Amino acid sequence: MAAPLGDGLRVGGALTTHSPSRLAASLARRLGWPLPIPGLGARSRDRIRALTGASRDEWREIAAAFPGLPRDPGPAAARARERLARRCARALSTGRWRVRLDGDPPQKSPAVYVTAHIGSLQALRYVLRSRGVPAANVLGPYNLDRTRAIRDDAVFDRRHALDFPHAFPADKPHRLRSALEKGSLVLAADLPPAGSTRAFASVLGGSVALDARPIRLARAARVPCRAVFLTLRRDGWTLTLSPPLEPAGAEAPALAGLARALERVALHAPLDLDGAVYRSLARSSGSR
């Protein structure tokens, strides 16, 4: 299953007092990205990569594949990601995860929440858990080192402790089924492995393949499946939730509902896209 990249946050920790250059360097260290030179933030191109996961030139590639973006979105995407970093750090330090709700509120009973690499997947988990929803991210094989994320989780748990793990590995389907007996799982569906694509979403003028396996997992576990996104708009955090995607057990309508939800959220928060993931999607779309 497609899973949050690096626990999905790209922000976090005690970052509220960093200057832009220190913030960029700190985020790069948190993500394990190399720092080619001292004074990273002084170079706009390197700062954009450190903050967003894609360089300015790579953001132009993304914009070519997703023409609903500005032609040169890198600098604006870096500013958006820095703002998101500060908001996340502030919420983590205060324990107040205030959001505007778009859709029916999440329930505490088990569910599969399907999302995409837009906004912050780690903050999304924190928002759900702060509302009493036991929710965990599902992580792929390259994202299982949670050394830094565990520290953030410990800070979060001081105010919102729940008896449910923060993350599960994607390659243990039986553990996922068992987890859904007690809590909810958050899975990203916009980076499917080969052979698992069953639908496409039209996102910002481009095409994004969608993974059907989260919907199948919900069906197998007999729990609701809803689309969910946490984005940072001009008026603050917005938690967007769809109605149940699969009321009649039909996969195609569920994927269509997920596609519509992703398309709408991307229109409202285009610069919240994860640069590293959408750079990969832009290049794969060019090869199709």
Interacting residues of 80 by C-beta distance below 8 A, sequence separation 6+? 232, 271, 272
Task: Mean pLDDT check: name the lowest of 15-19, 71-75, 159-163, 279-283.
Answer: 15-19
pLDDT at 88: 93
- Tokens 């953001």, residue? 59
80 φ/ψ angles, rounded to the nearest 5 degrees? -65, -40
pLDDT at 17: 32
pTM of structure: 0.84
Task: Give the Cα separation of 58 and 30 in Å (integer).
Answer: 21
**DSSP-assigned letter for residue 107:** P
Average pLDDT (26-41) is 38
Residue 130 identity: S
pLDDT at 146: 78
Domain that holds residue 75: 5-287
Q: Are 134 and 182 in contact (CB under 8 A)?
A: yes
Average pLDDT (22-29) is 44
Task: Give the Cα separation of 63 and 73 in Å (integer).
Answer: 7
Q: What spatial distance separates the first Cα and last Cα of the chain, rounded to whole Å?
A: 21
Instruction: For the chain, give the mean pLDDT.
Output: 83
Q: What is the pLDDT of residues 90-148, one digit of tens each?
A: 999 999 999 999 999 999 999 999 999 999 999 999 999 999 999 999 987 766 667 78
Task: Mean pLDDT check: name the lowest of 17-31, 101-115, 273-287.
Answer: 17-31
pLDDT at 234: 84
pLDDT at 286: 58
Q: What is the pLDDT of residues 138-189, one digit of tens each?
A: 987 766 667 788 999 999 999 999 999 999 998 888 999 999 999 999 999 9
Higher pLDDT, 107 or 246: 107
**How many domains does one find in the chain?**
1
How far lies 198's CA from each of 36, 215, 255, 259, in Å? Answer: 40, 11, 8, 11
pLDDT at 152: 94
pLDDT at 255: 92
pLDDT > 90? residue 273 = yes
Beta bridge partners of 155: none
